[in-house]
Amino acid sequence: MNTNIAVSSPKSKIQPKNGEIFYPSEEKKKLGETDFQHIQILILEQQLRIFLSEKKDIYLASDLIVYYEEGNPNRRFAPDLMICFGVENKKRRSYKIWEEKQVPQVIIEVASEATWQKDVTTKRRLYERLGVAEYYIIDPEYKYLTQPLIAYRLEFGDLVRQAINNNRIFSHLLDLELVNTGTDFRFSNPETDNFLPTAQELSQVNQELLSENEILKAELTRLKGEK
């Protein structure tokens, strides 16, 4: 959950001997994040990865460094979650907007004591300038934001705050609802009104189906033996 929206500093540009500018794929993590943030990011990421697993042109990343100004590795940010449409779904060490030809269209930040003020100010302004279409901020501790779920949508170049109705907001790009359940935040499919499963929940369902299948096989064997 990197909070570094770096500023320009010529001295901090790292140039190898061949003269090419170096764009680090990792940077020192800052202290202050808790289980609340880590668990919440994991829930949403797992839900989306399963939901988007068959999509070859939608890229999902968590805490990946995004560079937005060619030639200046200080111009970067690392959103908690980002979704890019029209971009190949493959592993990356970092995301360079000028190479991908696409800004992240959906960004989700998970607020913490260390990040919430930047989430609603500095980051929002940057994402607005870059043209991010949908921006969501969630507060898993229910103590920092004026509302635990805040949503913005790009309208004529401005990220405009959206109304949260019934503790949920519809994402037009994802075709999903982001829902504040009162204890955590989850994606829901509005067509079925069901939450998307996490990897753990999906594994549990599969295990239950296997158990039921074994019971049916045993019952079928018993019935055959009675003939």
Query: Does residue 204 surpass a pLDDT of 80?
Result: no
Kindly report, residue by residue over 95-139, the tens digit of the pLDDT: 999 999 999 999 999 999 999 999 999 999 999 999 999 999 999
Kindly report, residue by residue over 21-72, the tens digit of the pLDDT: 888 887 655 544 789 999 999 999 999 999 999 999 999 999 999 999 999 9
- Alpha helix ranges (H) inside 73-186: 97-100, 116-120, 122-130
pLDDT at 22: 87
Choice between 200 and 125, residue whose per-residue pLDDT is larger: 125
Q: In what order do the strands lie in the sheet with 95-96?
A: 76-77, 66-67, 95-96
As a whole number of angstroms, the distance between CA 146 and CA 125 comes to 18
pLDDT at 216: 53
Name the percent of the chain lying above pLDDT 70: 78
Distances (CA, A) of 72 to 6, 10, 22, 68, 78: 10, 8, 9, 8, 15
This prediction has a pTM of 0.81
As a whole number of angstroms, the distance between CA 58 and CA 75 comes to 24
- Alpha helix ranges (H) inside 17-121: 35-51, 97-100, 116-120
